[in-house]
Amino acid sequence: MIAPKDNSMTLFTNHAEAGKELADLVKTQLAFEVDLVLALPQGGVPVAFEVAKILNCLLDIFVVRYLCKLGYPELSLGAIASGGVQVLNPKLMDSVKIPQELIHQINSREKHELLRRERLYRKNRDQLEIKNRNIILIDDGLATGSKMHLAVKALRSLNAAKIIVAVPVAAAETCGDLANLVDQIICLKTSTRFQGVEIWYRNFSQASDEKVKTILETCQAIL
């Protein structure tokens, strides 16, 4: 695991600067040849763009949507992800006793939103192949890391060869947990007293849908 101990809190100006700093670390510390850079939208996209450029790799999004009952966002029954992957939490489903019909409705709602985002961001491009590829998976930071955990599980089910997680900042405990699930984790800044990803950025504004589309199109054009 490439992750420094607690750092003095030096803030990133924005996502692009965080991406450039992360890209420099990735270039020197990456233990595997990488075929594809995947970003968790929206915050992961401008960070991943800088890494994709320095590695001369294609960039794509990887969308994860929690399956939550309306009005209860803290109760995640599981998630769906790009590539048609579904990860369920059977213990929670049994404990809250949600009817199967409602689960289907929740799944349908989130699948619709996932596909909407993929069509919006990719336009007419298909999702890039995951199977047998070495993939670096990027977000703008990790607090609990729940979405990243789900994304890693989804990529495993799609038969990715190697999975490397790279982020500008993370909770130290989360880095340790993820290190047991992936082939390598690279993180610029960690803290044992982590209070949220956003406080590590002077400007934490998320990339708009148009910005995400532009970044993906730009990466396609220059590589």
CATH number for the domain that contains residue 57: 3.40.50.2020
pLDDT band, residue 93 (cuts 50/70/90): low
Q: What gap in Å lies between CA 43 and CA 50, rounded to an integer?
A: 13
Give the structural domain span for 69. 65-122
Question: Do residues 82 and 70 both lie within one domain?
Answer: yes
Token pair 């490439």 is found at 2
What pLDDT, on a 0 to 100 scale, did the predictor assign at position 94? 67
Query: Per-residue pLDDT for 2 more than 50?
Result: no
Percentage of the chain exceeding pLDDT 90: 62
What pLDDT, on a 0 to 100 scale, did the predictor assign at position 43? 94
Question: What spatial distance separates the first Cα and last Cα of the chain, rounded to whole Å?
Answer: 29
Phi, psi of 128 (to 5 degrees): -70, 150
pLDDT band, residue 5 (cuts 50/70/90): very low
* C-alpha separations of 75 from 84, 98, 104, 131 in Å: 22, 11, 16, 31
Residue-wise pLDDT tens digits, 132-190: 999 999 999 999 888 899 899 999 999 999 999 999 999 999 999 999 999 999 999 99
Q: What gap in Å lies between CA 1 and CA 6, rounded to an integer?
A: 14
Question: Do residues 96 and 108 both lie within one domain?
Answer: yes
Query: Per-residue pLDDT for 4 more than 50?
Result: no
Question: Do residues 55 and 75 both lie within one domain?
Answer: no
Mean pLDDT of the chain: 88
* Range 101-123 average pLDDT: 89
Question: Do residues 96 and 159 both lie within one domain?
Answer: no
Token pair 């990803």 is found at 197
Our count of domains for the chain comes to 2
